[in-house]
């Protein structure tokens, strides 16, 4: 079956702009996770959804970052007033349930100029 | 705070067994140990997981110590395609750390 997909694969934007990153999880997976990965570092947890609700958003760095999952499937990570420091690979993963095996998408490479 | 400790890098000869250690001394009784790997420019890939018993699948074996404070991932016959960064994580906190960069040498 299809794995986790993320769009766009690459995004270049200018400082101060708004961006949306999309994640399509594996069908039937109730848990969805967003991570951010900077060059040379491991993935850094941002937020975790169980169904439609954000069960843990403790990793979101500040209020410029927001994520939604309105129908319990597709999720969108939204970044307002982007800064150069937001440049990173944003990874999405899904699992059947919390603490079960996570399957990762290929990531979206965000570059803020 | 990272809940696991791994060596930053390791080398292994092609065809030999690669043994990657991980310390997780603060693991709780109901937390699983998961191993993922990440090949350059790709998303992390699941390898194996376990709670307290040793586990084996088509990719690797996982040996967990009796006190569960450490584990070892074993790639029995490493190939060049196993060159990657390997992450050991303890669930609930989903903290990846920096992993071990494994290089398989021909």
Judged by CB atoms closer than 8 Å, whether chains meet at B94 and A33 is answered as yes
pLDDT in tens, A2-54: 899 999 999 999 999 999 999 999 999 999 999 999 998 999 999 999 999 99
State the pLDDT confidence band at B84, using cuts at 50, 70 and 90.
very high
Note whether B40 and B103 are within 8 A (CB). Answer: no
A27: CB partners within 8 A, 6+ apart: A1, A2, A73
Residue A48 and residue B94: Cβ atoms within 8 Å?
yes
User: Residue B29's pLDDT is what?
Assistant: 83
Search chain A and give the residue with CA nearest B94: A45
What is the pLDDT of chain A when averaged over all its residues? 95
Residues of B in contact with A103 (CB under 8 A): 46
Q: What number of other Cβ atoms are within 10 A of residue A8's Cβ?
A: 13
Greater confidence, A39 or B2? Answer: A39
Give me A85's structure tokens: 């420091």
Looking at residue B92, what is its pLDDT? Answer: 60
Alpha-carbon Rg for chain B in angstroms: 13
Q: B86 and chain A: CB distance < 8 Å anywhere?
A: no
């Amino acid at each position: 079956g299809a794995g986790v997909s993320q769009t766009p694969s690459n995004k270049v934007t200018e400082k101060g702009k708004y961006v949306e990153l999309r994640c399509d999880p594996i069908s039937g997976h109730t848990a969805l996770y967003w991570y951010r990965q900077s060059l040379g570092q491991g993935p850094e947890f941002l937020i975790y959804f169980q169904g439609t609700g954000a069960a843990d958003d403790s990793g979101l760095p500040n209020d410029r970052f927001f994520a939604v999952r309105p129908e319990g499937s597709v999720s969108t990570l939204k970044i307002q007033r982007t800064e150069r420091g937001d440049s990173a690979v944003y990874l999405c993963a899904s699992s059947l349930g919390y603490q079960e095996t996570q399957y990762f998408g290929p990531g979206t490479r965000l570059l803020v100029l | 705070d990272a809940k696991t400790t791994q060596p930053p890098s390791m080398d292994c000869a092609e065809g030999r067994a690669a043994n990657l250690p991980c310390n997780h001394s603060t693991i709780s009784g109901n937390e699983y140990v998961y191993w993922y790997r990440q090949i350059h420019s790709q998303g992390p890939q699941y390898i194996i997981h376990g709670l307290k018993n040793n586990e084996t699948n088509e990719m690797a074996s996982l040996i967990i110590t009796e006190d569960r404070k450490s584990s070892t991932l074993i790639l029995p016959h490493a190939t060049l395609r196993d060159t990657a960064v390997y992450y050991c994580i303890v669930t609930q906190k989903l903290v990846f750390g920096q992993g071990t960069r494994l290089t398989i040498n021909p």
